[in-house]
Each structure stands twice: as C-alpha cells, then as structure tokens.
Structure 1
C-alpha cells in the first residue's frame, strides 16, 4: 500500500493523501444473508410501499424470526438480538403488542434512545452511527429495524437532495459493513404512478442507490381477499429472479395487565403469480380500465371452464383451452386470483392443477389494520434455502465520541422514550 501526497505537490500544503492498495491485498469474501437471497447481512435493505399494507408487520415479523433463530439465513438456529427504532407508533400500544403477537423474544428486542444531560432524544443519523456500532458489537445484534428509515435522518439534511442524503446513509452503510449487522428500513411510496418501485420511494434516489436490496410491497386488489404481494425489486448482491410472496393480515389478541389488546398478524400464504411490478403497472397504465375489463372477462371464462371440468383441471389443459379462445397466458395468470382459482401440485408424478374455490370468491377475508405477528411457517417453496456462515470480525479502531445509547428490552417497564 503506497501513500502519495494530494493537492499541489508541495510538502505541508495538505493533510490528505492518496492511498493506493493493490487488489491482490484485499481479501475476497462471500456474501452472507440475514434472510437467504433477500436481505444481505452487513448492508442496508429498504422495504417500501404505500401506507396501510403491512410494512411494519413485515419488520416485526423479521424481528421475531431473528430473535427466535427461525429465519432462513446465516442466523438460522441462533437467536440473536434486534435493535428496533420506531418513531411513528407507541411502544406500549402498538409496537410492543405487534412484536408479542409476532412471537418475538421480547428480551432480545431493544428499543433505542439517546441519553443526554437534559433527558432522552431520538437516534439520529449520521451522528449516532459510531455509538450504535459499539452496542451492535457488545450485544451481537443481527438486525437494525428502522420504522421508518427517513425518521432517523438528522433534521438539517435535505432528504430530497442526493448529495445531502448520502451524508447520512453512507456512514450507516459503512457501519453495517464493519459490524456485519443488517439494516432494514421502511420507506413510503410517493403519489406518482409508475411500475418501477424504485422510482416511487419518497425522497432522493440515494435511498434506493445506497441500499443493496429493496423488497417492495403492494396490495393486490384483483386478488379479492385483501392480500398483498412482496417482491424483490433490487438485489445488488444476489439473485433478482426470486419468486414473489403473498401474505394476508389476520387479527390477534394480545394479553395485557389492563385487559386484551387487539392487533394484526402477518401470515404468508405462498408464492404469487403477480409481482409488485405487475400491480404497480396496472395502476400506472393508461389503459387500466380496459385491462381490468379484459381480466374480468377472462376470469368469467375461467370459472365457466373449470366448472365444466368438475371444478379443476391440469394447467396444460387450461392453457390449451385458453389459447383456443385467444387468451394470452399472461392475462390468464393475472385473472386467476380474480376468479378465485388456486394452484396446487397433485398426482405422481406431480403436476400443477388449477382448482376453483367458490369460498374465495363469495366470502373474501376482510382486511385488518396493519399490525404484526409471527409466521408459523415460511412458504415451502421459493428463495428460503439456508446459507450458514459466520460474521467477519470487525476491524479494530476507536469510534467517534457520541451521546450514549440507552437500550431498553421490549419487555422492560418504565421509561417511554421519545426515540421509538
């Protein structure tokens, strides 16, 4: 490694110097995954979407899986702590019950506040990155959950200016990299109409640029059951061709000292034929009304066809019959949820069957206000394989002095801080 003077070349005119390191001196390492193929460890991941579709439920579900060691990834089988920074909801009334309903180990979820001489303040980026890194290493934290990430940015930073926002996000990304901790932050969609989820994230493009992965969420109105779809919209460190996942929100009762509290809980129902891009494209397209009319017509045809076949038929037969009617395969797939048709494997060798379920069309489930809950079992298929690895040892060095962090386990009583 060679250090060369920067500036005009005259000695003493600059304290900066250029450091050149040969690539051969840099140790190459594999990518470790907090959630296999979806959330990389040591990086920032964004979960954007519109309001009221369960983004916070997803974050609570992730936290619960980490604290129980049940999330497919490098921490599978190892319960790890989570630091949860939330600013829009009450811990007593919302966040605590959400985590409890999600099945989280409440002793391993920590609310984070900044303690100062005058009291408590909110966690602020980039100011508190160094102090946060100290606590991550001390406790072995596997996940920083930010609900939403925007609320952690210092007030003086213009989050709509790329250069300004990077002054907060790049130190956070460096902190995640040196500690091996995953940072997962929620983000909101703006009011624009676009099929590209990255273009809809409120604020500067720096949010999606600095994040190594983006998992977008959208409600599928055509499904008829209030379900939402989760898709991988960005994945710089891994695969992008991951199956989209579908989930619903169910109601759950949480016991408290003052009587029961009622929240929602997230339940994955399997993979989705429609992606978030498909859903956003429907909403953004100028021919949306025509598209919906076409899907309605195809859904009616599909119901009639399967009824004639006794309620179910092999997928090749459905596709063949649709082609005879001039129905494109993509349109048929998008009309399937609207028709209340489910797919399942049957027989030996297994083959895909399309089955009509009248209950799906006559009695759709009523959506529940977004809360949270633990998933009993992850979808059986999809990118849920296991990658077991060990976090790299962080480099040594002194952290920049910062106000001390006050970490409160979610099970603790007493101080209700302002940070979360």
Structure 2
C-alpha cells in the first residue's frame, strides 16, 4: 500500500465525466442522449470541452449500433467536430462491416489495441446494451462485463461513456432506480448522468444522478435544447439532423422531473394522492396507517399505491410523513403545517425512535421515514 499513489480526480468534462472511468448516460428514447454524446465528442476533438483537456484536440473512439455511419457523421459535423479526430470502432466478433455489434467479452483486447494506437480521451458505446451478452437483468451476467470495461478505462486512462436507457415506468422513481437492466449498471460505474424532458420549459435537463467522487446534490443540472439543422451531403443535397444547444444551469433536476405527471398522460395517477390528502384533512391532519390502509383499499387504492403517493410528497412543503403515537404505539401518517425536532425510526423498518412521541393532535417529533 505504501507504493500506491493518491491522485486527485481529473475530469474530461468538469464535474460530469471523470477521466479514466466508466460513466453511464441514461434517459428515455428520443430525449437527446445520442445527440448529447456526439456534442461532447465533437467539442473534445476541437479542444473545446471544459475540463482538463481543454485547449487540446483529443481523439475519440465511437461504437455505434443505432445510427448508420452516414447519419453519425452528419450529426458529428453538425456539432462542429473535427472528423480527423473521431474513429468508428469496427472491430467485431463477426466479419468486419457485417453489422455485428462490438462485444465486450470478445472484442475488448482488439479495442485496447486501437486505444494504444490513437490514445483517445473518450470511448463512446452507443448503445451500451448492444455490446453486452447474456441476460441484461442478471447481475451475474452484466457485472463481469462492466468490470472488464472499467479495468480497460483504468489501465488506459480513457473515459468510457456508455449510453443506456431508463425503464419504461419512471414516474415517481428515483433516477438511479430507473436505470434499465441489472443493478450492476449503477453499482459498477463511477458516475451516472441522466436526461429528462422539462415539458413546462420545453427543454431537456441533464443531471448527475450517481457519483463516487463528488456530491450529486452539489452538482448543478444543465438545460439544453435540440434543433433541426441541415448538413451538406456528398451527393450535393442536404441531410437533416439534430444539433444540441446548451442553455446553462437550471434549478430543475431529473429527479424532480420524474416526480411530475407527464403532460397528456393518464391523470388517474394523481387520484391516490388526492384521496390521501383529503382523507388526512377529514381526520384532523393525521390517521393511523392501519386505518388508512383499510379505508384506502376500500376506496380502490392498494397499500403500495398509497405508499408511493405518500413518497411523492417527500421534500415538499406538503410532505406526508410517519410518526409514532407513543413509544409502543402504532404508526400514524400526518400532514401538519409545522414540524419540530427529529427522531430516528421508520414505519416500514418497524423500529421505534429512541424516545416516545406525543399522541396524535399534540406537538410531536418528526420520525425519519424511509418510504
């Protein structure tokens, strides 16, 4: 251990892309993830990406499975990239050029050879899932492949950016939990970025949702938009592609956006919360959780649905939370206008806080609630 050097974290893109690490970029389809990745790559090839490589043109390796090579080049040119510094990785387990995706388990040694040749600062896998084999929801299958990718990033000091996706159902879900596939996706990668649409502002938002090296809460979210532009094609015509425009920092995070009801979608998902708020109002601002469960199920709302509705209010002005009626008493759900103190405990964990809480209706201490 005496021989191990403690080194500061360096960034390809300050705060968002650490050098020599694997970072995940996720979001729903059509949200602009690929356009964003191309924009970062293009800036890097021009020495324009804010980070430790700014002012220096760096090579980029790119593995594409969802765009054609022609469309990718059009996107890259639209983003202002230098085509002499970007290289499409076509080292595959099948015949070169047959459309077979690069596979981490088979092709990583050949990729390492390309990295040694070009010394790229960035290696993009779009989409990451296409380069993995086996059951993508199985940690025992996914984790070893991601570990190999991480080892490559560490050994070559190359930043690896894997473009992934969210699960289909993301409403009310924490962004890390919304990452599609096995839990290893969020466990192995050093950082994870997520994109979501802010329909109220008609923009997109990028947030840091997981990091082993810095504060997620202290890292600002960034707003961006995409516009359609025309790029000259080699046949004398033009090709339409998307181009990203950065709009600066925003106080809106992807986590917040996942708590919103999407415009135009089923408004019935608001009904459990509306019922719960009305129920607590009718019972003086609080009621035992056992009664809420029974009356909620009678009204057509399952206990899991009501707990998710309660969780939606967390960290808001109108938060509904759990507290004890007494040390050995049952849990109650409250929706008060004032809160005092704090105490450890959780209704879901079944643990009591270290001390007793006054009965319902009296001044109370707030108990920590895990969901």
TM bucket (normalised to shorter chain) is 0.5 to 0.7
Give how far 1:135 is off.
1.5
1:26 is matched with: 4
In the alignment, structure 1 residue 208 sits paired with structure 2 residue 191: no
Map of 1:230 onto structure 2: 206
The 1:180–1:288 alpha-carbon spacing in structure 2 relative to 1, beyond 3 Å, is farther
Name the counterpart of 1:319.
none
Higher normalized contact order (CA 8 Å, seq sep 6+, divided by chain length): 1
Is 1:183 the counterpart of 2:160? The answer is: yes
1:127 paired residue number: 106
- Cα distance per residue 1:352-399 (max 9 Å; x no partner): xxxxxxxxxxxxxxxxxxxxxxxxxxxxxxxxxxxxxxxxxxxxxxxx
The answer to whether structure 1 residue 150 and structure 2 residue 129 are counterparts is yes
Task: Indicate which of 17, 22, 25 corresponds to 1:47.
Answer: 25
Q: 1:69-218 maps to which residues of 2 (within 5 A)?
A: 69-92=47-70, 94-114=71-91, 118-120=95-97, 121-154=100-133, 157-192=134-169, 193-218=171-196
User: Is contact 1:48-1:189 (8 Å) kept?
Assistant: yes
1:287 corresponds to: 270
Distance in 1 separating the partners of 2:94 and 2:178: 40
Conserved? CA contact 2:135–2:141, under 8 Å: yes
Alignment deviations for residues 216-258 of structure 1 (CA, whole Å, 9 cap, x no partner)? 10001121xx311111101112232111111111121101122
- Superposed displacement of residue 207, structure 1: 0.8
Partner of 1:127, secondary structure, is helix
Taking the aligned partners of 1:239 and 1:46, their CA distance within structure 2 comes to 17
Q: Which runs of 5+ in 2 are unaligned?
A: 275-314, 318-371
Whole-angstrom distance in 2 between the partners of 1:288 and 1:34: 45
* 1:145–1:289 distance in 2 versus 1, CA, 3 Å: farther
TM-score, normalisation: structure 2? 0.68
Aligned to 1:309: none
- Distance in 2 separating the partners of 1:288 and 1:36: 42
1:143 and 1:288, CA in 2 relative to 1: closer, same or farther beyond 3 A? farther
Q: RMSD in angstroms over aligned alpha carbons?
A: 2.2
1: CA distance, partners of 2:246 / 2:272: 29
Check the 8 A contact 1:38/1:235 in 2, yes or no: no
Distance 1:64 1:260 in 2: 20
Looking at structure 1, the residues matched to 243 and 221 of structure 2 have their Cα atoms a distance apart, in angstroms, of 19
Aligned partner of residue 104 in structure 2, secondary structure = coil
- 2:238 match: 260
Structure 1 unaligned blocks of 5 or more = 1-22, 292-328, 332-420
Cα gap change, 1:202 to 1:115, in 2 (>3 Å)? closer
1:56 equivalent in alignment to 2:39: no
User: Where do residues 384-403 of structure 1 align in structure 2 (5 Å cutoff)?
Assistant: none
Instruction: For residue 188 of structure 1, report the CA deviation from its aligned partner.
Output: 1.0
Q: Taking structure 1 as the reference length, what is the TM-score of the superposition?
A: 0.60
Question: By how many angstroms is 1:289 displaced?
Answer: 10
Task: After TM superposition, give the deviation of residue 137 of structure 1 in Å.
Answer: 2.0
Measure, in 2, the Cα distance between the counterparts of 1:133 and 1:41. Answer: 16
